[in-house]
Amino acid sequence: MKKILIALLASATLASCDLERLPYGDMDSDGITNDPEASLESLVNGAYAQLKAWSDPMHRAGEYAGDNMMIRGSSTDAFYEFISFARTPNNGRLSQFWDNGYKAIAQSSNIIKMVEEGQSAEIDSKLGECYYIRGLMYFYLVRTYGRPYYQNPETNLGVPIVNGTPDNVLDMTLPDRSTVKETYEQIVSDLKKAEELITEGDNPIKATKGAAQAMLSRVYLYMSGTYESPNAEYAQLAVDYADKVIGSDNYALLPREQFMKYNTLTPESNPETIFAVKRVAAEFSGYDHYYGIGGMYANIGGQGWGEMYASAKYIDLLNETGRNDWRPDKYKMVDARAAFIEPTYSKNSTGAYTEVFRFIKQDGANVLNYVQATITRNGNTITCKDGDDTYTLTPLDVVQEIYTIQYKDGNMYTGVIDNFITLNRVYPQFYIIKCSREGEDTHLHSPVISRLGEVYLNRAEAYAKLGNYGAALDDLNEIRTRSIVNGGYSSLDASNASARIDKERQLELAYQAERSYDVFRNGKSLSRQYPGPHAQFETIDPTDFRVIFYIPQSAINSYPGPLTQNPTS
């Protein structure tokens, strides 16, 4: 019998075809076949290991292309293309995303090919984990490199479906990209197989039946069309799989106070987490504390670059039902999700905070900038000074310290009295700590793939697309009232469901790499009219060619067969 070699912790990537003949730690297929239980755990762990490197560019591609964050300035790092929408095929981070995704697909597929199903419940459950990993990778790949499902999935290209290393690796020819529809069919097939086979426990750092069902609820939601033109069949399936997760009672929404510390909990100690890519401090080097996901969002204890901040758009969304006040002596979170933001208030030479009136003004036709103007109080009159000009503040909400000014450019601006926030270049540092402090370890973070809060929102959206607004409202308010006390909506209908549900997804799933995909899959346009070096007044339509990324040129160059590139215009 021809032997197939599988690496425990690394395998041949289909992108590079750099197949090692006898890499260290590999296992002979005869040994695996004859005694699968002895080796299966290690083999499956090798597939999980690929997710650690994969999850970093996965986060950046999904989150940076959205409107929840801003960066202090342009960068030569490849991730800046995600922010600027200046797409190129020579992007090292996208190559890492592609390569590690296909390594995980290759490893899980080879295990499935080599180990016979039906030998025992334990072996079948491990095989189910492989199906989950493979389906998960195809889903994240197709939503990155393939157009939204509602846009001609029968003809638009998805990604290559290559399930395992061919027997003849020296003369192999691999297929070109499948269509978006075919790729989704593969995803659904894999996840359903995972659901069928997995029987072992509810460990949130391993694939489980609940993890497969949660991902199916999201996959079918992606297939469910837009609010204006929904696909009822797929919307109902999204409901059905959300029902399985919610009805299992294996997971629980964290109470408000605990939820505000979600980022500090390890996945194993968090009943809301369904599946996360586990990181541990021992493997999380000092390098990662700077260059990992959290290190770009904040500097904590001297660790991290702290060059990316919560966008003004996201902060306004958090403040929509009432001002969240981060000042140490006035700390009040109206929306619990504001707890994941930490402004860097600084003290003056006397050790006191400086009070300022902070607002955003227009600097020219297409530029917005922050202003932090020092205020002076004289009885009930408050003035602020910006450059050589002094303005009297007009109260809009005295209790929340929200005021307006009539500015010299003829515009009226609204802002808040706050403490001065340290600037990086010209931008106040609204640090994001949602991807830091796991186990209170600076920037340790296990990226969350699925959690119960998302599943409720999946079901709310699917119900709305089915016209069941009462059920959609119940699910929407389940999440909204957890974060905003007495903040639930009294009604939901065709006129407001899209805006309200999408807004809640943005608030709830921020910094989990979902936002840009959520916008485009529902046929919406992305606008980022807030301070930052990006094109502030540009609108990215869902049909724009830049909604998806180029296939890495390195993958095309080394692929054993044709690999069609995405359109360049």
Q: Which pLDDT tens digit goes with each residue over 300-336?
A: 999 999 999 999 999 999 999 999 999 999 999 999 9
Assess whether pLDDT exceeds 70 at residue 289.
yes
pLDDT confidence of residue 27: 53
- Which carries the bigger pLDDT value, residue 24 or residue 500? 500
pLDDT band at 510 (very low <50, low <70, confident <90, very high): very high
Q: What is the pTM of this model?
A: 0.93
Q: If you average pLDDT over residues 180-194, what whole number do you get?
A: 98
3 state DSSP class of 362? strand
Q: Please, which pLDDT band fits residue 2 given cuts at 50, 70 and 90? A: very low
In the block, residue with structure tokens 């395992």: 164
CA-CA distance, 395 to 393, in Å (whole number)?
6
Within a 10 A sphere around the Cβ of 134, how many other Cβ atoms? 30
Q: Which helix (H) or strand (E) holds 62?
A: helix 36-63
* Radius of gyration in angstroms for the set of CA atoms belonging to the chain, rounded to a whole number: 25
- pLDDT for 173: 87
In the numeric block, the tokens 């399985």 are attached to 244
**Domain layout of the chain by residue ranges:** 346-420
Residue 412: φ, ψ to 5°: -100, 130
3-state secondary structure of 372: strand
pLDDT computed for residue 11 by the predictor: 37
Mean pLDDT on 123-136:
97
Q: At residue 352, does pLDDT exceed 50? A: yes
pLDDT digits (tens, 9 = 90+) for 361-389: 999 889 999 999 999 999 999 999 999 99
Token look-up 């419940």 returns 121
Find how far residue 338's CA is from the centre of its chain: 17
Label residue 547 exposed, middle or buried (CB < 10 Å: 0-12, 13-18, 19+): buried
238-243 long-range contacts (CB < 8 A, ≥24 apart) are 238/458, 238/459, 238/461, 238/462, 239/459, 239/462, 239/463, 239/466, 241/213, 241/214, 241/216, 241/217, 242/214, 242/217, 242/455, 242/456, 242/458, 242/459, 242/462, 243/459
Task: Give the span between the Cα atoms of 464 and 497, in whole angstroms.
Answer: 7
> 């408050």: which residue's tokens?
382
Give one DSSP letter per residue of 223-279, joined into a string. Answer: TSB-SSSB-HHHHHHHHHHHHHHHHT-S--PPPHHHHTTGGGS-GGG-TTEEEE---
* Residue matched to tokens 């342009």: 74
CA angle 162, 112, 141 (to 5 degrees): 40
SS3 448: strand
User: What whole-number percentage of the chain has pLDDT above 90?
Assistant: 88
Nearest to 403 by CA among 334, 355, 342: 355
What single-letter DSSP state applies at residue 439? G
In the predicted model, what is the mean pLDDT of residues 286-293?
84
Amino acid identity of residue 169, one-letter, is V
The Cα–Cα gap between 43 and 37 comes to 10
Answer whether residue 56 shows pLDDT above 50.
Answer: yes
The answer to whether 118 and 13 are in contact (CB under 8 A) is: no
pLDDT at 423: 97
Q: Which amino acid is at 354?
A: T
Question: How much is the pLDDT for 166?
Answer: 74
Cα–Cα distance, 57 to 453 (Å, whole number): 23
Per the CB < 8 A criterion, the answer to whether 542 and 3 are in contact is no
What whole-number distance in Å separates Cα of residue 108 and Cα of residue 163?
Answer: 8
**How confident is the model over 55-84, as a mean pLDDT?**
96
What local confidence, expressed as pLDDT, does residue 15 receive? 38
Query: Averaged over 226-230, what is the pLDDT?
Result: 98
- State the DSSP code for 435: T
User: Among 151, 168, 227, which residue's Cα sits nearest to residue 465?
Assistant: 227
Element at 190 (helix H, strand E): helix 180-197
Q: What is residue 1's predicted lDDT score, i.e. its pLDDT? A: 32
Tens-place pLDDT, residues 100-128 = 999 999 999 999 999 999 999 999 999 99
Percent of the chain with pLDDT over 70: 92
How high is the pLDDT of residue 516?
97
Q: How far is it, in rounded angstroms, from Cα 127 to Cα 109?
A: 9
Q: Report pLDDT for 168.
A: 66
**What are the tens digits of pLDDT across the range 531-548?**
999 999 999 999 999 999
- The pLDDT, as a whole number, for residue 20 is 28
Predicted confidence (pLDDT) per residue in 440-498, tens digit:
899 999 999 999 999 999 999 999 999 999 999 999 999 999 999 999 999 999 999 99
Q: How high is the mean pLDDT of the chain?
A: 92
The 3-state secondary structure of 387-408 reads CCEEEECEEEECCCCEEEEECC
pLDDT value at residue 33: 61
For CA atoms 310, 311, 317, 321, the dihedral sign is positive
Looking at this protein, which amino acid is placed at residue 236? Q
pLDDT, position 5: 36
Geometric angle at alpha carbon 63, from 458 and 46, rounded to 5°: 85
Integer Cα distance of 488 and 565 in angstroms: 46
pLDDT, one tens digit per residue, over 4-55 is 333 332 333 343 333 222 233 455 555 566 666 768 999 999 999 999 999 9
pLDDT (tens digit, 9 = 90+) per residue, 92-102?
999 999 999 99
| pLDDT (0 to 100) of residue 14 | 42
15, β-bridge pairs: none
pLDDT at residue 263, rounded to an integer: 97
